[in-house]
Amino acid sequence: MTQQSGRIWVMGGRPLNGTAAIPAAKNSVLPLLAAALLCRGPVRLRAVPRLSDVECSLGLLRGAGCAACWQGADIVVAGMPSNSTLPGETAAQMRASILFCAPLLARLGRAETSLPGGCNIGARPIDLHLEGLARMGAKELDAGAGKLVLAAPGGLHGTDFTLRFPSVGATETLLLAAVCARGTTVLRGAAREPEISDLAEFLNRCGGRIEGAGTSTLRIEGRRGLSGYDFSPLPDRIFASTLACAAAAAGGRVELTGCPPALYAPVLEILEQMGCTVERGADRAEVARFGRLYGAGRVFT
């Protein structure tokens, strides 16, 4: 495989053999960085992958007035936000920039940003985010095309809110809003992905009180302040699944380390049905394919 002029050229025909370490999940790191805005003490996230969305998130944190820097493979965030306006050009580059609005509302009573951008993979509106925040006391102000301004001068308060579908992003936004809001929030129809549980675990370790992570109903008792914490985000199950499928497609034997197989068990089970051999350990899986692949039949996600 070679990379030239923004293109990646892949020459196939050879089996894959070797070991690959699975990095921390980007889809966990981004909401954790947004959550750092709620913490009065320093936050350290360990072994974070150096990705463009992560760099955008650091830009948003700095724009809000926090110190955010790399220390080796770790990220350290310190300081409370002092600016409610997120840098527009940076926010427009990334879908997850909407996650930074809820902590700013909680801390400063106001959040201003460009409408979030990011990958163009179909309709991904933010209406659920805004509807839930409105139920918690936030108002959307007229800001012109491409801008988003939210205000909660009286602060955010708890509510009982049901998501129309289990949106991961909306669940994260409302979790971030509720953890420091007045009173208790019950969030029904919530997403159940491991990244939601990772965010809830981090917030609880910082002093939050969240119950039900991993189920469709979350109960959050608001806290006035959170402390910082030294936290290792969960491994990237999407990254691991991609490499497992690559081994199945190309053949050979690949060991994936640093990621519990339970995080991507459905993918491994389907690969076994297709003719692969999978050996599982506590935080590793070995995927091998030396014969032909077979159709897996009907697959439901």
Per-residue pLDDT, averaged over 6-13, amounts to 85
Residue 1 pLDDT level (bands cut at 50, 70, 90): low
pLDDT for res 120: 42
Residue 92 pLDDT level (bands cut at 50, 70, 90): low
Integer CA distances (angstroms), 274 to 147, 158, 270, 278, 287, in order = 48, 48, 6, 11, 12
pLDDT for res 117: 56
* Bridge partners, residue 39, by sequence: 226
Q: Show the domains of the chain with their CATH numbers.
A: 2-22+235-289 (3.65.10.10), 26-231 (3.65.10.10)
Residue 121 pLDDT level (bands cut at 50, 70, 90): very low
Per-residue pLDDT, averaged over 175-204, amounts to 97
User: Scanning the structure block, which residue is given the tokens 């310190």?
Assistant: 78
Convert the pLDDT of each residue in 201-224 to its tens digit.
999 999 999 999 999 999 999 998
Q: How far apart, in whole angstroms, are the C-alpha atoms of residue 211 and residue 218?
A: 6
Contact criterion met (CB below 8 Å) for 222 and 180: yes
- Lowest-confidence region among 40-54, 75-89, 207-221: 75-89
Q: How many CA atoms lie within 13 A of 212 on its CB side?
A: 16
Asked about 56 being catalytic, the answer comes back as no
Structure-token pair, residue 104: 């700013």
pLDDT at position 184 over 90: yes
Q: Across all residues in the chain, what is the average pLDDT?
A: 92
Catalytic residue among 39, 56, 69, 119: 119
Name the residue among 6, 25, 20, 2 with its Cα closest to residue 193. 25
Q: How far apart, in whole angstroms, are the C-alpha atoms of residue 215 and residue 37?
A: 26
pLDDT for res 157: 97
Which residues, in sequence order, are CB contacts of 40 under 8 Å at separation 6+?
80, 225, 226, 227, 228
Q: How far apart, in whole angstroms, are the C-alpha atoms of residue 174 and residue 99?
A: 9
pLDDT at position 231 over 60: yes
Q: What does DSSP say about strands 252-257 and 284-289: parallel, antiparallel, or unpaired?
A: antiparallel
- Chain length of the chain: 301
Q: How far apart, in whole angstroms, are the C-alpha atoms of residue 212 and residue 214?
A: 6
pTM of the full structure: 0.91
pLDDT at position 91 over 70: no
Convert the pLDDT of each residue in 190-206 to its tens digit.
999 999 999 999 999 99
* Terminal Cα distance for the chain, rounded: 31
Radius of gyration of the chain (CA): 21
Name the residue among 95, 106, 155, 167 with its Cα closest to residue 131. 167
DSSP secondary structure letter of residue 5? T
Structure-token pair, residue 37: 């805005």
φ/ψ (deg, to 5) at 174 = -75, -30
Q: How far apart, in whole angstroms, are the C-alpha atoms of residue 217 and residue 158?
A: 15
Integer CA distances (angstroms), 16 to 244, 252, 279, in order = 10, 5, 16
- Residue 29 sits at the vertex; the CA angle it makes with 160 and 146, to the nearest 5 degrees, is 70
